[in-house]
Amino acid sequence: MCGRYALTLPPDAMRRLFDYPEQPNFPPRWNIAPTQPVPIIRRHSDTRPHVAVVRWGLVPQWAREVSGKPLINARGETVAEKPAFRAAFQRRRCLIPADGFYEWKTTTTGLKQPYLIRRRDRGMMAFAGIWERWHAADGSQLESCCIVTTQANAPLSAVHHRMPVILHEAGWDTWMDRSHRRMAEALALIAPAPDDLLDITAISHRINSVANDDETVQAPAGPQTTVTQAETPKTPTAQMTLF
């Protein structure tokens, strides 16, 4: 799974990369957690990419209420079949930009060592995502998303058995296409990243707390690092807006 990630690329640089018309205003984030607002890149009827800020933790259209346990990941093997994800996969696929993500490995002592996973060239990653629009009984709306995952590649499998689907730029258009005609092509994009794409670094346990959201959470692990168990995210620590 993917339960935390980072997005620190300046908004102007991200806008140039994904070529959307909006001018987003959001801060660098080193420790994004479930239920927090995150930017996604998606297509509308004009076929051009657009950026939106949505809740990380998908709420299906048919849900009666927002569940306490957010659906932050969707297994790529079943995303086209599971009722919670099927409609979103068919019509509402998106890119979720990131420049790093985190996984935890249980050590021989039973404690969890966090790891930072980034591209070796430190470039941007576009996770395969899906998004949904949920209508509450009072007429309000909530847009939400989740990350599509797949089996880990060989290097990452030493830390965790799953990983986000990281889309090559050549597949962005296919993934964001809103028609049923390219569903088979989209499914074909769900695969582990190449073994030589990423590097993996053991980092400080400061990442365990969602209250810590600065560059120090990515500091390499050291002998004086305090070991703590990962904490469950509760409330957002930053807001993202569009203007």
The residues annotated with a catalytic role in the active site are 2, 103
Q: Exposed, middle or buried, 201 (CB in 10 Å: 0-12/13-18/19+)?
A: middle
**Backbone dihedral angles phi then psi of residue 138, each to the nearest 5 degrees:** -85, 5
**What is the C-alpha separation between 154 and 160, in angstroms, rounded?**
10
- Cα atoms in the Cβ-side hemisphere of radius 13 Å centred on 163: 30
**Do residues 39 and 52 touch, judged by C-beta distance below 8 A?**
yes
Bridge partners of 75?
A: 149
**Which residues, other chains included, contact 223 with Cβ-Cβ below 8 Å and sequence gap of 6+?**
none
